[in-house]
Structure 1
Amino acid sequence: MPHEKSAADSDHDQLKPHLKGGNSKEPSTTPVPAPRSATHHQHHHHHAHHKTHLEEVDLKDSSATPVPASRSAVLREKTDVVSDLDNVNGHVDRVDGKDHSESKVPVSPLTPHPRNPANGSALTAEEELFDSAILLRLDFTNALSDYGGAKMSPAHPGENLTMRSLRRGDFDRGYTELLSQLAVVGNVTREVFQSRFDSMARCPNTYFTIVLEDTVAKKVVGAVTLVVEQKFIHTAALRGRVEDVVTHRDRRGQNLGKLLLDTATILGRHLGCYKLSLECKDSLVAFYRQFGYQTDAGNNYMIQRFRD
């Protein structure tokens, strides 16, 4: 029986492509062929709009349809939008009426991943879901859990262990096998895993799946996910959910679950979440209380399950 269990949801934004304006009411005497690059892109865009997540362009009347901008221009626009979106957390440093722009902590810890697919680059097996460097910047000075006298942190998770972001190649390192010790995973092939990873990576600063890897066995032996939601309430705040906390059955009793939960909790605070929540069994309430989580009297967790 796994130690921890939680659940999640997320969302995802959409972009409109640039459109070149205008068309003449009267055709010229000599037909002028469209530039090859624009014509080629329009044809390619019609068949590949699902991959670029752009709105469909109506190709029924080419004489009245503006030609979309080049793919690189669209991707540049998407990157700009992502950058603006990432700055939504800036309110955290202004909510007390003070300017913290000169403080050591950046105004917004949420920054675009340098290799995120939103920037137009190809994904590889070593692609990270988020930049692991943020884990090394977390302050564990006031970590609430007791590691039995051991000094544990993301930089020092234990012998032959490394803590990092989930990677696109972690299917082959047993990530889904580890999750099956927590919940029903189903028939998730490498292709399905990579497709889901890619879609999650297209929502930067939303999914923070943290893993512990045994560097000798080359296996993922622990994991937790922090899902960050962007809200309008509480001055356009961020709200975090801690989910899918699991350690491998062969590594339990080594404080790895505590380290993972501490890391997700401290990361949520570092990112500026106004609150974190998780769901757990009654038998685990006492375990989670040592990390500062409390039951909320008068509020209930309700669920409507459509399938396993």
Structure 2
Amino acid sequence: MEPCSRTTQEKGTPCDLQDSLFDDTVLRTMNTDKCKFAMKGIQYPTPGTSLFARPLRRSDYDKGFLQLLSQLTKVGDYSKEAFEAQFNSMQALPGMYYVVVIEDTSTATLVASATLLIEHKFIHGAVIRGRIEDVVVDSEYRSSSLGSFLLELLTCFSEEIGCYKITLDCKLKLVGFYEKFGYNNEGQCFLTKRFKD
């Protein structure tokens, strides 16, 4: 069986999902009627010319995933083996980690990424909660609305899978951006205690 690629996925050809963090059938088959990007005629997995959205792959270490994340925060310098070990740990917990990336297929590099983390709760009748993390768009693509596309995709998906709510942390200057997508400042205070930089 061949590795998952844009060609195999578009043709519906079976491919080796072991390279993907999750099976993107869950995104391909979700109801996008409420998603703002769908109302603009944009569809998953192609948010633009030569742009392809998909789950993170084990092979994305070589496509600049860590360099992309470094535009958001400190990543650190670690090996491909360490990346693959972390990938395997996340992949071993199906239904908890949804890291979606956008690849520019003309350059074979990753240009945007966002993560949806699912938290299982005992409250509210044993529900699940979604949490958006690590939304980043390469500086050369920031006028392409890719962050909006990823945020809306993962927000719609979290509702589709039954999250009772979805939250995110952001800098104060970005509150207005997230409010455009229905996120509200509920006056809660999120505190942080760092053990490492």
Scaled by the length of structure 1, what TM-score is found?
A: 0.57
Give the superposition deviation at 1:142: 2.2
4+ residue segments displaced more than 6 Å = none
In structure 1, what is the equivalent of residue 178 of structure 2? 288
Distance 1:228 1:153 in 2: 24
Residues matched between the structures, number: 183
Give the superposition deviation at 1:139: 2.6
The structure 2 residue matched to 1:132, chosen from 24, 35, 39, is 24
In structure 1, what is the equivalent of residue 118 of structure 2? 228
Query: Structure 1 residues 289 and 144 mapped into 2: Cα distance closer, same or farther (>3 Å)?
Result: farther
After TM superposition, the structure 1 stretch with the greater mean CA deviation from structure 2, 192-201 or 135-144, is 135-144
The structure 2 residue matched to 1:203, chosen from 82, 85, 93, is 93
In structure 2, what is the equivalent of residue 305 of structure 1? 194
Structure 2's unaligned 5+ residue stretches are 1-14
Letter in 2 for 1:139: N
Distance 1:230 1:153 in 2: 29
Contact 1:209–1:223, Cα closer than 8 Å, also in 2: yes
The structure 1 residue matched to 2:137, chosen from 247, 250, 259, is 247
Give the superposition deviation at 1:151: 2.3
Contact 2:116–2:132, Cα closer than 8 Å, also in 1: yes
Distance 1:216 1:181 in 2: 21
Cα deviation, 1:227-265, whole Å, max 9, x if unaligned, reads: 001111111100110000001111110111100100110
Q: Secondary structure at the match of 1:134?
A: helix
CA RMSD between the two structures: 1.9
Letter in 2 for 1:243: E
Distance 2:70 2:115 in 1: 15
- Verify: 1:217 aligned to 2:107, yes or no: yes
In structure 2, what is the equivalent of residue 8 of structure 1? none
In structure 1, what is the equivalent of residue 153 of structure 2? 263
The structure 1 residue matched to 2:34, chosen from 123, 142, 159, is 142
Structure 1's unaligned 5+ residue stretches are 1-113, 117-122
Q: Secondary structure at the match of 1:259?
A: helix
Structure index of larger Rg: 1
Contact 2:52–2:102, Cα closer than 8 Å, also in 1: yes
**Relative to total residues, which structure has the larger strand share, 1 or 2?**
2
Q: Secondary structure at the match of 2:151?
A: helix
Which one scores higher on RCO, CA 8 angstroms, separation ≥ 6? Answer: 1
Scaled by the length of structure 2, what TM-score is found?
A: 0.87
Contact 2:34–2:156, Cα closer than 8 Å, also in 1: no
Give the superposition deviation at 1:115: 7.2
Distance 2:181 2:160 in 1: 15
Distance 2:180 2:36 in 1: 7
